[in-house]
Amino acid sequence: MEKKDIIQSFKDSLFTGLIALALFGPIVGLRTASKGEGLFITPQWGIVFLLVGLCILGRFLINLNSARKTEITFFSKFTSKFSAITEDKAKHFAITAILFSAVFPFLPFTDRYFMDVAIMILTYIMLGWGLNIVVGLAGLLDLGYVAFYAVGAYSYALIATTFGWSFWICLPLAGVFAAFFGILLGFPVLRLRGDYLAIVTLGFGEIIRIILINWYEVTNGPDGITGIPRPSFFGLPFKRSPDEGETSFHLFFNLEYSTMHRIIFLYYLILVLALITNYFTLKIRKLPVGRAWEALREDEIACKSLGVNPTNTKLTAFAIGAMFGGFAGSFFATRQAFISPESFTFIESAIIVAIVVLGGMGSQTGVVLASIFLIGITEMFRDLEQYRMIAFGGAMVLIMVFKPKGILANRKPTILMHGDKK
Amino acid sequence: MEYFIQQLVNGITLGSIYGLIAIGYTMVYGIIGMINFAHGDIFMIGAFVALISFIIFGLTGVALPIILLLVLLIAMFFTACYGWTVEKLAYKPLRGSFRLAPLISALGMSIVLQNYVQVAQGARVKPMQPLISGGLEFFKNSEFIVTVSYLQIFIVILTIILMGIFTYLITKTDLGRAQRACEQDRTMTALLGINVDRTISITFIIGSSLASVAGMMFVLYYGVIDFYIGFLAGIKAFTAAVLGGIGSLPGAMLGGLLIGLIETFWAGYVSLEYKDVAAFSVLIVVLIFFPTGFLGKPDIEKV
């Protein structure tokens, strides 16, 4: 490298440092804190200088790196290799993953905590797969997916607590309600362009949440709904001492009573629900309506000229996605036995969208990897609660910048003309 | 009647704040065709910088007009740095990528900024003593006295002055011409020897500065802020931009005023709990019935 280059990159780094100082100086350096009456400033210059130093160093290293003409950064190298491996072996991966998840509850190291995390990851996988129909296949960015999750959870909770019907009746009803909401909300707005649609769906998500908070008579407001019935194993409840005339799960199978039975049952329940979502998506992709979704995603005008009705086609995607969101919602309600509007904030929608986008829109395997990655990692750093979301948002930006199509970019057409092998 | 006038005054004040934020959305949309989702959080950062400088200057005991001017300039400068950096880091590398990529990146940036401020400044709400108090009272003989506070007058006058400067900047200067040219055709503008990247950066700087002024007004008007204010204010300002016709600058101001008025009247006459629903419903209705807004140009899609 020439001397001129080094001086140039040095200047550049100093400029970065100045900008970093302007960024971190007031917000990080002057922390406001309440003391008695009014606010006072606590200076924290140490952290500011550390951050500025890091920025200068980072910029200098990047400059050195780019001067050596190594355009491909470590990050994109890593991910492209990764996607090359997994795309070839996607089928093997899927089979291994299903087998592993089937035996997971009985592995020696699996305890209550692992099971809880696994159930959470599976819930997000299911939500991700549901949203993947809308975002990945039909190309409609839905930032209010949590609304359908909430509708599913609340309709399950309300039906189950008011009528006392069993889980297996409430679950499809909750799905139907969510799908109905999907049609109701989708019908007026689906003709909008992509980014407008994103903002409108976000608005819907917020409207639903505000209604849940304020409609006290039905939803019990911010206090939420308690005492939601737990699911039973085909009529056999998971109770230590069953009511008169009832047989509980452990008595029927002659087992020692354990709370793990219910957890394991919930685990298999969500696993099956998620796999149904996946199976459904894989099948519908090969049907005319699935093909129409993907075609619409690629070129709406071409689709219109070929006689595809864009609004109806999008509406089916929206409704089906909403239905799976509703199923996941009722699972959530029955697992928690308590729901409140707090569980259905915008950030939840953002997490689900991030899972779909990070995984590579349209890729089913990608959703699994992204859920494990995002939920697993954030679970590991539980103690660093505050920094977790910064890392989360940062990952979204970085992945978009370096790999705008996600970890497993899978936008290969599912159907090809004869002879066109590529 | 008196109550109506009071709501009108409050609505215009709130509308000025929304209008200033909406300009940032509409300018960015006009020039690079993306929704800058992080703009609401830029506004929030502006509010925090203003709060911090108010506290610092409050200790020195300088005269009030000087404090206001200094805080205004400081907030504009530091917030503009944020706007500039966000564009460089999160949007510039994505130019020419598929359409939803910048939106998702902006979403990530918004999450980062919110949580960054939460970590750096704490999650609690930040109260501030009112700096400008008092006001003019009208209809003193009737049951309901209409109060127009000096603060409201200050906010509206400052907005009008800024709008004047801004309109001059866009319509009369070279910078404004370059900016409008970039909106129409970026490639052609580049061929004519205009630095498109720099023009886009300046757009972000102007948008962020105006948002920071709105942030300062917000601190003065409500006297309490937290790291989460950017989300709702951002959505409402975006609604304002769409209502006025996205891409149109007078439209953004008009839309801001309308959203401010709708929100205050809704809160005053219909229901306080559902005032945020009003803003979202207006957004949805507008997008369905006038997708181009009041002053926007029709959007022609080409194959």
Average of pLDDT values for B158-164?
89
- B104 and A30: CB-CB below 8 Å? no
Domain limits of chain A?
Answer: 3-71, 80-402
Q: How far apart are CA A9 and CA A62, in angstroms?
A: 9
Select from B45, B94, B280 the Cβ nearest to the Cβ of A206.
Answer: B280
pLDDT exceeds 90 at position B43: yes
Distance CA B192, CA B167 (A): 24
Residues B141-158 as b/e (b if ≥16 CB within 10 A, e otherwise) read eeeeebebbebbebbbeb
Please tell me chain B's helix, strand, coil percentages from 3-state DSSP, rounded to the nearest 5. Answer: 75, 5, 20
Cβ-Cβ contacts under 8 Å, A203 against chain B: 235, 280, 283-284
Contacts within 8 Å (CB) and 24+ apart, B257-260: B257/B11, B257/B12, B257/B15, B257/B16, B257/B18, B257/B19, B258/B15, B259/B15, B259/B18, B260/B11, B260/B12, B260/B13, B260/B14, B260/B15, B260/B16, B260/B17, B260/B18, B260/B19
Q: Measure the CA–CA gap between B273 and A375, rounded to whole angstroms.
A: 34
- Indicate the SS3 state at residue A207: helix
**pTM exceeding the 0.90 threshold for the entire prediction:** no
Selection from A342, A330, A323, A341 nearest residue A161 by Cα? A330
Q: Choosing among B76, B99, B111, B131, which should be mutated to test the A contact, i.e. which has the most A CBs within 10 A? A: B111
Across the interface, whether the CB atoms of A195 and B120 are under 8 A apart is answered: no
- CA A44 centroid distance within chain: 36
A158 versus B99: the higher-pLDDT residue is: A158
Three-class SS state of A52 = helix
Given CB atoms, is A288 within the 8 Å cutoff of chain B? no
pLDDT in tens, A241-257: 666 666 666 666 767 66
Chain A's closest residue to B105, CA to CA, is A397
Checking if the pLDDT of B302 tops 70, the result is: no
CB-based contact, A51 to chain B, within 8 Å: no
The β-bridge partners of B148 are B136
**Host H or E run for residue A319:** helix A310-336
Q: What percent of chain B has pLDDT over 70?
A: 97
Greater confidence, A63 or B84?
Answer: B84
CA distance B228 to B245: 27
Helix boundaries (H) for A146-193 = 146-163, 167-189
Domains of chain B: which residue ranges?
2-289
Q: Confirm or reject contact between A302 and chain B (CB < 8 A).
A: yes
Q: Specify burial of residue A47 (Cβ count, 10 A radius: 0-12, 13-18, 19+).
A: middle
Q: Does A121 touch chain B (CB under 8 A)?
A: no
B126:A32 CB<8 A = yes
- Of B137, B138, B153, B125, residue with least CA distance to B221: B153
Please compute the mean of the pLDDT values over residues B96-117 and round it to a whole number: 84
Which residues of chain B are within 8 Å of residue A386 when distances are taken between CB atoms?
115, 118-119
B251 neighbors B18 (Cβ within 8 angstroms): no
Distance CA A212, CA A206 (A): 10
Chain position carrying tokens 């639903």: A208
Average pLDDT over residues B196-206: 89
- Are A31 and B235 in contact (CB < 8 Å)? no
* pLDDT number for residue A102: 77
Check B273 against A394: CB less than 8 A apart: no
Q: Quick check: B90 and A401 CB within 8 A? A: yes
Distance, CA of B56 to CA of B130 (rounded, Å): 15
* A392 shares contact with chain B (CB less than 8 Å): yes
Identify from A55, A212, A400 which residue to disrupt to test chain B contact, counting B C-beta atoms within 10 A and taking the largest count: A400
A355 Cα distance to chain centroid: 4
Q: Decide: residue B288, CB within 10 A, 0-12 exposed, 13-18 middle, 19+ buried.
A: middle
Predicted local confidence at residue A422, as pLDDT: 42
CA-based nearest distance A207→chain B, Å: 6
Q: Say if the Cβ atoms of B280 and A19 lie within 8 Å.
A: no
Taking phi over 0 as left and psi of -120 to 50 as alpha, with beta for the rest, A230 belongs to beta
Please list every residue in chain A whose beta carbon sits closer than 8 Å to the beta carbon of residue B121: 27, 31-32
ipTM score of the complex?
0.82
Please report the pLDDT score of residue A411 as a whole number: 56
Q: CA nearest B136: which of B160, B117, B114, B154? A: B154
DSSP state of B168: H
Q: How many CB pairs under 8 A join A and B?
A: 175
Q: Give the span between the Cα atoms of A198 and A212, in whole angstroms.
A: 21
Distance, CA of A240 to CA of A258 (rounded, Å): 8
Facing A141 at nearest CB: one of B100, B105, B119: B100
Q: At B133, is the pLDDT very low, low, confident or very high (cuts 50, 70, 90)?
A: confident
Both tokens assigned to B153: 């007058």
For B225, the 3-state DSSP assignment is strand
List of chain B residues whose C-beta atoms are within 8 Å of the C-beta of residue A195:
34-35, 99-100, 103
Of A34, A202, A394, the CB nearest to B124: A34
When mean pLDDT is compared across B5-9, B156-160, B236-240, B286-290, the lowest value belongs to B286-290
Only one residue has tokens 């404004």, namely B176
Q: Which two tokens stand for residue B53?
A: 């400088």
Q: pLDDT band at residue B41, thresholds of 50, 70 and 90?
A: very high
Radius of gyration, CA atoms only, chain B: 19
Contact B279, B263 (CB under 8 A): yes
DSSP label at B41? H
Question: Which stretches of chain A score pLDDT less than 50?
Answer: 71, 420-422
Tell me the residue ranges of DSSP E strands in A131-278. 225-226
- Kindly tell me the burial class for residue A361, based on how many C-beta atoms sit within 10 Å of its own C-beta (0-12, 13-18, 19 or more): buried
CB contact under 8 A, B284 and A204: yes
Contacts of B128 in chain A (CB under 8 A): 38-39
What's chain B's average pLDDT? 84
Q: Considering only residues B209 and B125, tell me which one the structure prediction assigns the higher pLDDT.
A: B209
How many alpha carbons fall within 13 Å on the CB side of residue A282?
10
Please tell me the CATH code under which domain B2-289 is placed. Answer: 1.10.3470
Q: What angle do CA A67, A73, A78 make, to 5 degrees?
A: 160
User: Which residues in chain A have Cβ-Cβ distances shorter than 8 Å to B22?
Assistant: none
Q: Which two tokens stand for residue B89?
A: 């880091």
* A68 at B interface, C-beta within 8 A: no
- Chain A, 3 to 32: residues with Cβ < 8 Å from chain B are 19, 22-23, 25-28, 30-32
Q: What burial letters (b/e) apply to A100-136, b meaning 16+ CB within 10 Å?
A: ebeebbeeeebeeeebeebbbbbbbbbbbbbbbbbbb
- Buried/exposed A386-399: b ≥16 CB within 10 Å, e otherwise: eebbbbbbbbbbbb
Q: How high is the pLDDT of residue A75?
A: 54
Per the DSSP assignment, residues forming a β-bridge with B127 are B224
Q: Which pLDDT band, with edges at 50, 70 and 90, does B298 fall under?
A: low
Query: Mean pLDDT, to the nearest integer, of B57-64?
Result: 76
Q: Which residues of A touch B127 (CB under 8 A)?
A: 34, 38-39
Give the pLDDT confidence score for residue B303 in this predicted structure.
47
